[in-house]
Amino acid sequence: MTLQKIPIYLLTGFLGSGKTTLLKEWLHQPEFKDAALIINELGEVGIDQALLTHAAEAASLVANACVCCTGLPGLSQALEDLFWARLERRVHKFPLLIIETTGLAMPGPILETLAQNPLLMERYEWAGTLTCVSANAYQAVMREFREAQDQLTQADVCILTKTDLMDEAGRELAKMHLQEFFAHHDLTTPLLSSELASLRARDVLQALTSLKESSLRKANNKDLLSTSQETQTFLRHGTSCEDAHQHDLQEIHAHEHSHHHHAQTHFWSLAEHRSLEHSLLQVQALKNALGSDLLRVKGMILSREGAHLIQMSPFDTQATVSSYEAPQDLKNKNATQPPWGLTLIVNSHMHAQRRQAMKDLLDLSP
């Protein structure tokens, strides 16, 4: 009897690219119904986990480490634990698994690590890498951060997010620039667009299927389907997106495993019951003090006006605010409400003056 392997989808994209918002919508759609989740977050407080795990019974958090470097052992362990929990019926028989990485993760080392684990190779199959890129910040992000470029070059499907923040001319320019980027790297990566997280999961899977079929046709024409390398068989999930993107695992191993993200995380425990305006003024003061060294702000605060989700992406000039309501009926009984406050991701090489300014702001008493 042929063993039915569990498909793995990697959802990646730089900080603030809208991964979590999209995934939250997909988990309510038939294609990703009952999916298992592995959520990777920098920092000790799992913000994305709190936003997502109410929709998934089988979920695991790899926190305070990036899964493409220091968090690789945690990722492998999480995958093994979820498989055994599924086999022993401690969780439902999930049909697929989604890994949402931190915005600084590079996909290459993750693929290689999975391919080198015999148990994971036997039980899971790679189904595709989905990379989100923000329409309103893609140029600055790609210019400043190698991680963002790597995420794009290794994407099986690219999703241009936040297109609602651009006019039609801006959207078309963004698409043109991304298509030029892929052409420059000799890639045929499908490019999809998402406005207000409206992109459907079925459209993403259809794009992966089309890429898979195109890769097979090209491989047949070149007579390149035969291979005896077990690692490549795993990464190709039987077809392969890897052929289309011509990835070289040895090259990935040489330059990715040695990298280190120049980022640090801090948890800012804002006092409860102050006004929302007061909290936002403090976030804005932090942005003014740190400038481009403030890479990300994300978290939940409890103010006099209620609970709110606060986010600020790289190159944003001000934070975005939305109402937050903690789920009352959690499907995942292990899911808990994280502490109220904001997780900050900052450049670890920032100037001493900015570092002192951050310390002074974070130490502010209510």
pLDDT one-digit tens code per residue, 228-247: 333 333 333 433 434 433 34
Residues forming CATH 3.40.50.300 domain(s) in the chain: 6-256
Helix (H) or strand (E) holding 10: strand 6-13
Which pLDDT score, from 0 to 100, does residue 366 have?
Answer: 44
Which pLDDT score, from 0 to 100, does residue 247 have?
Answer: 40
Residues of the chain with pLDDT under 50: 222-259, 329-333, 365-366
Rounded to an integer, what distance in angstroms lies between the CA atom of residue 325 and that of residue 303? Answer: 13
Residues forming CATH 3.30.1220 domain(s) in the chain: 263-362
Number of residues in the chain? 366
Give residue for tokens 């409890």.
302
Residues paired with 342 in a beta bridge: 268, 299
**pTM for the full predicted model:** 0.82
Q: Which two tokens stand for residue 238?
A: 């039987």
CATH topology of domain 263-362: Hypothetical Protein Yjia; Chain: A;domain 2 (3.30.1220)
Side-chain-side CA neighbours of 311 within 13 Å: the count stands at 16
Question: Phi/psi class of residue 254: alpha, beta or left (left: φ > 0; alpha: ψ in -120 to 50)?
Answer: alpha
| Cβ proximity of 9 and 96 under 8 Å | yes
Which pLDDT score, from 0 to 100, does residue 97 have?
Answer: 94
Question: Phi/psi class of residue 311: alpha, beta or left (left: φ > 0; alpha: ψ in -120 to 50)?
Answer: beta
6-256 to CATH, choices 3.40.50.300, 3.40.1160.10, 2.60.40.10, 3.40.50.720: 3.40.50.300
Rounded to an integer, what distance in angstroms lies between the CA atom of residue 43 and that of residue 341? Answer: 12
